[in-house]
Amino acid sequence: MSLKALLKQHFSYDEFRPGQQETLELLATGTPVLALMPTGAGKSLLYQFRAKADPTTDLVLVISPLISLMQDQTTKARDLGIEATFINSSLSREEREKRMAQLADGKYKLLFVTPERFGRPGFMEILSKRKISLFAVDEAHCISLWGHDFRPDYAKLSEVRAALGNPLTLALTATATAEVQKDIVKSLGLEDQMQIMAQGLERPNLSLNVEEAYGLEEKTEALLKELSVKPGTTIVYFSLIETLRKVSQQISRKGFDHLTYHGDLPADLRRKNLKNFMRDESPLMLATPAFGLGIDRPDVRLLVHMEIPGSLESYFQEVGRAGRDGKPSRGVMIYDEEQDISIQMEFLKWGNPEAAFLKNLYRLIETRRAELDQGGMEFLREQMSFKNRRDYRVDSGVNILERLGCLAKSEDPFPWVALEAPSDEMIAMERMPERLKNLNMKLLLMLRWAKDEEFCRMSRILSYFGHETKPCGVCDVCRENFDA
C-alpha cells in the first residue's frame, strides 16, 4: 500500500503536509532524518505513523524535554488508536514502576520519555528487552550548546543511542539555524548519514511587522491601535510579568476584555484561562511566551510581541503560532530599542548565575517544601535576599535548574520538585564563555533584523535557518517596497 493510502487508512487525512511524506520515505529506506518543520506543521505524525502504520514496529521511543506536554501527546496518540504511554518524574513511583514492568512485557508501541530517564536505574535494561524501531528526538535543538535551549541531558543522547544498538533515528525541531542543524547531526553521531529535511518553513499567510516605540505608554498605544480593528483571536507576549500586569490594567480600562497566562498565576486560574482561550470565539490573551507551547488553536490572527525576544529562533517560533490555519495573519513586534535590549541583557546576566547561587537555590527547593508551597517565589527571593521585585534572578535560576533536569514541574502549589542537585560539570557547561558570547550574538542579530528596513523580513529569517527564498510580499518591508 502507498504511504498516502496508509495515511488515509490510519489517520483519515487525504494529503500529507509538506515534508511529511519525504521524511517517511527516507525513514522507510533506513535513512536517519533531521526534520525541520515549523510548529503545528505535523511533526508528531512522523513518529505516530511509524507506530501505527508499520506492522514491523515494536517500540517507537520519543524523547522530549516537555513534561507538561507528554500527557497530551499520549492522549492524542491513544485517540488515534496507538498503544501509547509516558514515563517521567511527574508520575508516582508506583505508577512509573507499573508502566516499566508493562514495557518490559512488550506492552506499548509508543513511549514518551524525558532524556534524564536514561540515567535512572533499570531503565536502559528494560529498553534493551525491546526492539527500538524508531528513536525520535523531539525538540532536537536542545542538543546543541549553541541553541537557545541547551539541555545537558540531550548531549548524552548519542551514548544512549549507541547503547540501544544505533536504532533508526528521527530528530525533530521547529527551530534550528544552519549551525545548530550541523550540531544536531554531529551530536547524534550521524555525520554523513543523516538527511536534513527542511520544509514548510515558509509561511506565506503570515505578515511580519515591526514597530518602534518609546516607553511603555507608546507601546500600549500601538497595541490598542492593533486591537481596535477587532483582529480576531490574539496573543500578546511579554517578557516581564510586571509589564504584562500594567498593560492588562490599561487595556481593561479601555474596555478590552482579555485573559492572562503567566507563572505568577495560581495553577487553577492558569488552567481556567487556558480553557477559555481554547473555547472563546475570538479571545485576547496576554501571556509570557511559555504560553502557546503545544496549544492547538490554528486561528490566531494577530500575534504581538511587546518586547524584542532574545533571538530570531525564539521570535520565529513564537510568531509562528499565528495563522496555522493558513489564513492571513499578522505578527507585530513593538519594540523600544534601549529598554528592551537592557531587559534582554539583564536576562542574559541573570541567566548566567554563579555556581554557588544555583546550588543554594536548589538546596532551598529541596529542603523547604512547606514554606515554598506557602510563599512560592517570594519566599525564595527573600531567602536569597533579593528584595527587589524587578530582580528575576531567582525565577531565572529556577528555569535553569529545570532545564538542567534538576527540577521537575509538579502539581504542588509551588510548581517544581527537586530531583537532583546540579553538578559542577553541568554548571561549568552552562557557564561556558563561548556559550554566553553566542547568546549575545543572537540578541544582536535579533536587533539587526528589527532595524533592517531593506530586506524582506520573512526571507531574512528563513535564510538564518539556512533556507533561501524570494521576498514574501506581505511583510511591512515588502509592502513599503512595492508601494514605492
User: With the C-alpha atoms ordered 360, 365, 370, 375, is the resulting torsion angle positive or negative?
Assistant: positive
Interaction with ligand ADP in 15-44: which residues (CB under 6 A)?
Answer: 15-17, 20, 37, 39-44
Among Mg ion, ligand ADP, none, what binds residue 353 when CB lies within 5 to 8 Å by partner kind?
none
Residue number with CB closer to ligand ADP (203 or 359): 203
Among ligand ADP, Mg ion, none, what binds residue 296 when CB lies within 5 to 8 Å by partner kind?
ligand ADP
The CA distance from 73 to 68, in Å, is 10
Q: Compute CA 373 distance to the chain's CA centroid, rounded to the nearest angstrom.
A: 27
Residue number with CB closer to Mg ion (43 or 117): 43
Residue with cell 540501544: 164
Among Mg ion, ligand ADP, none, what binds residue 39 when CB lies within 5 to 8 Å by partner kind?
ligand ADP
Residue nearest to ligand ADP (CB): 42
The answer to whether 268 touches 294, Cβ cutoff 8 Å, is no
CA atoms within 13 A on the CB side of 432: 12
Residue nearest to Mg ion (CB): 43
Residue number with CB closer to Mg ion (47 or 108): 47
The CA distance from 358 to 400, in Å, is 9
Task: List strand residue ranges (DSSP E) for 66-220, in order.
Answer: 84-87, 110-113, 132-137, 169-173, 195-198, 206-212
Minimum distance of Mg ion from residue 45's CB (angstroms): 10
Q: What is the CA radius of gyration of the chain?
A: 22
User: With the C-alpha atoms ordered 313, 319, 323, 326, is the resulting torsion angle positive or negative?
Assistant: negative
Interaction with ligand ADP in 264-303: which residues (CB under 6 A)?
Answer: 296
Minimum distance of Mg ion from residue 337's CB (angstroms): 33
Q: Which stretch binds Mg ion (CB under 5 A): 15-23, 41-49, 364-372, 474-482?
A: 41-49
β partners of residue 236: 286, 304
The DSSP output letter for 17 is P
Among ligand ADP, Mg ion, none, what binds residue 37 when CB lies within 5 to 8 Å by partner kind?
ligand ADP
Q: Which stretch binds ligand ADP (CB under 6 A): 9-17, 332-340, 365-373, 384-392?
A: 9-17
The answer to whether 428 touches 411, Cβ cutoff 8 Å, is no
Residue number with CB closer to ligand ADP (4 or 225): 4
Q: Are strands 132-137 and 169-173 parallel, antiparallel or unpaired?
A: parallel
45 is an interface residue for ligand ADP by CB under 6 A: yes
Interaction with ligand ADP in 374-433: which residues (CB under 6 A)?
Answer: none
Binding pattern to ligand ADP, positions 77-106, x when CB under 6 A?
Answer: ------------------------------
Which stretches of the chain bind ligand ADP, using CB under 6 A? 13, 15-17, 20, 37, 39-45, 296
